[in-house]
Structure 1
């Protein structure tokens, strides 16, 4: 068993008995390596973001948080290329794209050499121009949607006129090449769509937001999204 195989096997072993721990001695015996090697492997896993933790004490050891990681996923070569293309094409203004770089590294680590070369060749041919979306704005919007919390924004309309809003987020919508925050605007007392690249500033509030369905908040944008999906379905059936 080489080191890469052992690292995956370590994660599988810890996940299988989670949340109970395994001692370093037990793992060293299990994988027929030294205690020092196991310690080094566990530290390497932590450095790559795998949620392995050490627990001190008589009954302590190393364990993994099953809620913080996914089980192994076996991708075919075409599926791996599809995921790689999506990650490579995710610009900085795409919601939740910040984690894409780490996902790309993990995807590459899980593939064979030939597949890795295909992924590298594909991603080298995908380029995304810089976005005007402010990074801290995107982070606040992501958290507002994920945690269902009210968010304050300073928004500029198509003419550049700015206004301040408090928004109860319903979700995110991609339409006609742009991303929108869809939510209930307390200022206008109506559902609205806010283009992310026109949000000049954003601050997350501590206040929980009511549950809103996108289709009920912005009929126009949601309708266009459904129309585009219908066209894709029709095209794919031909």
Structure 2
């Protein structure tokens, strides 16, 4: 679908969902699970560090990995896609940002009420009792290549503190999932940005939007298969800035 046709749909839209994946954060230099790892982590498959079993087997390795990722996020800055999505809220009646990313770049760009389907690196909690924990690690303690770190202990039950992300094999947070579904079913234009849309259950969101009559537009630099009812714009996430400019200038 041509960019000017998408801009025309955006101009008429009232309720918009921006559903974002790793491709959006990658433009800020945040490594994705598909990127080759370096330093301490080069011997590991990141997917193997993203399970409760891996954490219980080697807490210091997994906690160090996630704190290294969190420090990378803190050093990164929102990119044009984050800023454009935040600015879109000024032009439509309702904008809902739903993300698979575990960073806070949407919030730092100015987006409000972001729905985090996969949790957040900035919300650690106890692996045993679930109580939230305030992380106090300063990034100057973390080497560039990463290091093992003994996780802090819960002040309530003395259990290990775990990252506040959704690991493989875990359910999505119920409240976030319900809010994402409601937004998808209520919108008239659904953008899927920087995600291949193949990981379920999150990949169900564009299908829900489509089933209620919304226009669904996938934005990704790598083309993938979609239905003939959906639209594809082969571009990086930063094309959102051009879309908004064309729609509202």
TM-score (norm 2): 0.25
TM-score (norm 1): 0.26
Q: Pick the structure with more helix per residue.
A: 1
Higher relative contact order (CA 8 A, sep 6+): 2
